[in-house]
Amino acid sequence: MKVKKTAKRNDIERKKAANAPQSRLKPKVGQVLDLTITTLDEEGFGLALHETTRIRVAGVLPGETVRAKVTFSGQRDTFAETLKILRHSPDRLAQIPCSLGNACEGCPLIQMKYRAQLDWKKNLVEGAMRRFPSLRAAEVRPPAPSAKPFGYRTTAKLVISGRFASPVIGIYRRNSHQVMDIGDCPLHHPLVNRIALAVREGIIKGKVPIYNPKTRNGLLRYLAVRISELENRAMVVFVTSERSYNEIHHLAKHLQAKVPEVTVVCQNVNSSAGNVIMGDRDYFVTKQQTLTEAVGDVRFSISPRSFFQVNNDGARTIYGQVREWAELAGNERVVDVYCGVGGISLYLAYGARDVIGFESVDAAVADAEKNARLNGLRNCRFEAGDAAELLAELQEDGGEVDLVVLNPPRKGCDEDVLKSAAGLNPQRIIYVSCSPQTLARDLNILAGLGYATRAVQPVDMFPQTTHVENVALAERTSEGVHAVITSSE
């Protein structure tokens, strides 16, 4: 009797499935499908439609037909891995310049010819801008290419996993805590890869225990590397779960013997259970504690906690574009909001009367002040605090400002910051952004405050990835003053 009931129930379920709307019949994990890729999304996944389900496929290009296996099928997203490319795109490279091929998801465009990457990024930026009628007249220029499509990353933060007998040094796989060894990464500066190899050897030789986030046992957690191209030297930070002099001392000694360019070694202690990389305590193994780097004609002192661009050539392109559009004659007052360690501020200080930099992080302000002294610049000052409040205070003091530079994090600016920036009534606002979407949103708000975007210059700071930096020029219109007054009432 039980068997009959089970059979009857199964029959009912099969009939329900057969009569169900197509939108509910999602592909199952493990199912193999032939898919046509229509476009790439903002993360570099190829998009294909199977009946009514949108499927995201890694390592493919628009126009390609692929045979793929479903690896995840959820309510919102369905992912598949490519088994075979049935029809190739003319934009595909004959050979992927990476030993990991498509297994690593850190470089989703690496199989695409570089010119095609630049075209795709231009379309990405244009698409974000054209969503807003106020921005449709703005010129979106072709992306400025990177001087080095490979070997450009001078900063790396890598996870250390596994056991000391077979350590893994690399990055997390997408949506998991599984670490993938990146080996000889083509995007890293060659010194970074040499350091990772030497550290791996040192862990094995010294039997250094590796931290296990599940048991919270072990010592080594992360490896952070910074390279000074100016000096051809490296800084290495070993992030550990606790203070341990002997293991790190011997590991540092092995590393410096293998890679003499390593002149700064630091142990950072992070005992927290979260995924934040750096802890609060630093202990230097070497006497030298900083590196010196240069972007164009500006020098910077780099410490373990300093924020610094990972692509020096890209940073020089961005800073140079900001300086070109600033059109400084020597009498201008400039405000640099989200100034970080003072990169743009110092670049502009050579041509301005004075520059004020605002930044929320106290340590970054201290670095900016140090960098101003390093370059002998006395017409800069830096303040730590909330950007909107500092801008409002400047407006209350009646300070005349000729140029405002905005360089916010990926989330963009709060509307209060934009209103306060426009409230200073500068002739120009230059906006540097790493997100085309939040840039377009904020430029649209500035348009309502009387600032029309004239041009956007994309900069390919991160070749082989979907990321694109942008510099945008907005100028005050004849209605600008009225618009600012109206918005503040």
The catalytic residue positions are: 434
How far apart, in whole angstroms, are the C-alpha atoms of residue 259 and residue 257?
A: 6
Long-range contacts (CB closer than 8 Å, 24 or more residues apart) made by 131-134: 131/440, 132/440, 132/441, 132/443, 132/444, 132/447, 134/443, 134/444, 134/447, 134/448, 134/452, 134/453
Helix, coil or strand: residue 164: coil
Q: Where are the strands (E) in 246-295, listed by range?
A: 262-269, 281-284, 291-295
How far apart, in whole angstroms, are the C-alpha atoms of residue 388 and residue 390?
A: 6
List 268's β-bridge partners, or say none: 239, 282
Q: Which of 169, 137, 308, 185 is nearest to 235 (CA)?
A: 308
Residues 103 and 460: beta-carbon distance below 8 Å: no
DSSP result, 95-157: S-SSTTGGG--S-TTTTB-HHHHHHHHHHHHHHHHHTSGGGTTSEEPPPBPPS-SSS-B-EEE
